[in-house]
Structure 1
Amino acid sequence: MKPPTAAQRRIIEAADPQTGRLSGSETQLTGLVRARLAFRHPRPPHACFLTPAGHRVREEGPALAPTPTPTPTVPEQPPPAASGAFAARTGTETAPPGAEGPARAREVRSAWEGLVELRRMTNPDGATDRPCAWERTHLVRAAALALEAAGCRPAGPGRAGYRVAETPQPEAVAVREPTPQGLRECGAALERAGWQVGEHAEPRGGGRYVLASPRRK
């Protein structure tokens, strides 16, 4: 995804701090929607609001705005790594994690707040206590974000923690954690995030796992 232009950043930074509603010309708003930094509400007046990616851009702040075009004597620098798309950690990554500590916590918090706002704007009754359509079509990513936002620890190279994986069942993911307490904490976190969960035994005595699916009511 291309980093937003300076004009797009100004519109994003001016968004309503509570709702993420955007103001701008039709051309500007359409550009943000095409860049997946905003979405249009399905009901009139079809206002535009920040997506989770748009909320992350606003969280980054002006410090990460594109630098001025360099003079011919200075080689152009590549865009900063922070301009890449946020990805919730599923615990199945093979590469070492990127940002950690407070920086990662800010990214996760911003992404979760954006997702809650997406629920409010796209669930027919405006409910924020249950998943929206986007989550039901991105099950692993949505469950991983709910877990990480709740403070659960994802697995990683040389590190124990939760792992989120697809299952053959429609609208369901499997969450595995090496300790019974950790597995219970993962299940409780997903329940608080609006998921239906159940603990199951692996075939042939292979331990236990949580099966989770987005709650509809």
Structure 2
Amino acid sequence: MTRPPTVAQRRLIEAADPVTGRLRATRTQLDALVRRGLAFRHPRPPHDHFLTPAGHRTREAEPRSQETAGGPAPAGGFAARVGGEEDAPRSGPARLREVRGAWQGLLELRRMTSPDGATDRPCGWERTHLVRAAALALEAAGHRPADPDGDGYRVRATPQPEAVAVYAPDEPALAACTATLERAGWQAGAYTEPRTGVRYLLASPRRA
């Protein structure tokens, strides 16, 4: 059985970039994480170190329940707005820069983890963070997340594997969300809830 990371290693893992998993530590510390299978050294210059899928799972072992429910990321990390949050970050130039930076970081993560360096398909991180990944694609494209009582998109987890539900205030907004997600490498189709008649998207990361 693999030994759990030490307290110091846990701190390094938790301090990794919330989107790309990039690590900052001494060479000795990074080598120790690599030996445990929690990090890898990228083969391309500048040969930075990043969390492996096992490293990401280690970091999120405790806060994972919030992600499943579509809730916020752990304190201190960037979180795309999923819509309807009571304490959502305010819109403005600073938020716009954060979102754009997170999206560019995600594209770089796709490039680094794809065998052919492609950025048009979701990566492993997105497949384990469906709600946040879909919300980031929408927010980065300029869609407005819903306020607690207002219009805008809402992204929610579903019982289906690798699928999220996206709600929008009307059909044009739903169509716009569909186009954005498809450009971002997702498959999306419109459905109607049988009991309520509410229209929504069922979206999942494209594999090829």
TM-score normalized with structure 2 length: 0.68
Residue among 98, 101, 120 paired with 2:89:
98
Q: What are the equivalent positions in structure 2 for 1:111-150 lying under 5 Å apart?
A: 111-150=102-141
**Residue 198 of structure 1 aligns with which residue?**
189
**Residue 27 of structure 1 aligns with which residue?**
28
- Deviations for 1:61-92, whole angstroms, at most 9, x for unmatched residues? xxxxxxxxxxxxxxxxxxxxxx9211100003
- Go from structure 1 to structure 2 and tell me whether the alpha carbon gap of 1:205 and 1:109 turns closer, same or farther (over 3 Å shift): same
- Per the TM alignment, residue 26 of structure 1 is displaced from its structure 2 partner at its CA by 1.5
Are 1:109 and 2:71 counterparts?
Answer: no
CA distance in 2, matches of 1:134, 1:110: 16
Contact 2:84–2:148 (8 Å) recurs in 1: no
Equivalent residue of 1:144, what SS?
Answer: helix
CA distance in 1, matches of 2:23, 2:191: 45
CA distance in 1, matches of 2:50, 2:100: 15
Equivalent residue of 1:211, what SS?
Answer: strand
Contact 2:42–2:50 (8 Å) recurs in 1: no
Identity of aligned residues (%): 61
Contact 1:119–1:132 (8 Å) recurs in 2: yes
User: Please, what is the CA RMSD of the aligned residues?
Assistant: 3.5
**Gaps spanning 5+ residues in structure 1: where?**
13-20, 34-38, 52-82
* 1:89 alignment partner AA: R
Equivalent residue of 1:141, what SS?
Answer: helix
* 1:157 alignment partner AA: P
- Go from structure 1 to structure 2 and tell me whether the alpha carbon gap of 1:32 and 1:155 turns closer, same or farther (over 3 Å shift): farther
Aligned length: 168
Contact 1:40–1:46 (8 Å) recurs in 2: no
Are 1:178 and 2:169 counterparts?
Answer: yes
- Go from structure 1 to structure 2 and tell me whether the alpha carbon gap of 1:31 and 1:199 turns closer, same or farther (over 3 Å shift): same
- Deviations for 1:92-144, whole angstroms, at most 9, x for unmatched residues? 3122x323211110000000000000000012221100100110011000000
- Go from structure 1 to structure 2 and tell me whether the alpha carbon gap of 1:100 and 1:187 turns closer, same or farther (over 3 Å shift): same
Residue among 117, 132, 157 paired with 1:166:
157
**Residue 66 of structure 2 aligns with which residue?**
none
Equivalent residue of 2:195, what SS?
Answer: helix
**Residue 151 of structure 1 aligns with which residue?**
142
Q: Which structure would you say has the larger Rg?
A: 1
Contact 2:143–2:153 (8 Å) recurs in 1: yes
**Residue 63 of structure 1 aligns with which residue?**
none
CA distance in 2, matches of 1:155, 1:143: 14
- Per the TM alignment, residue 41 of structure 1 is displaced from its structure 2 partner at its CA by 4.6
Equivalent residue of 1:203, what SS?
Answer: coil
- Go from structure 1 to structure 2 and tell me whether the alpha carbon gap of 1:129 and 1:44 turns closer, same or farther (over 3 Å shift): closer
Are 1:48 and 2:39 counterparts?
Answer: no
- Deviations for 1:16-47, whole angstroms, at most 9, x for unmatched residues? xxxxx9999513756999xxxxx635668993
CA distance in 2, matches of 1:142, 1:98: 17
CA distance in 2, matches of 1:115, 1:184: 24
CA distance in 2, matches of 1:153, 1:114: 21
- Per the TM alignment, residue 50 of structure 1 is displaced from its structure 2 partner at its CA by 6.9
- Go from structure 1 to structure 2 and tell me whether the alpha carbon gap of 1:133 and 1:159 turns closer, same or farther (over 3 Å shift): same
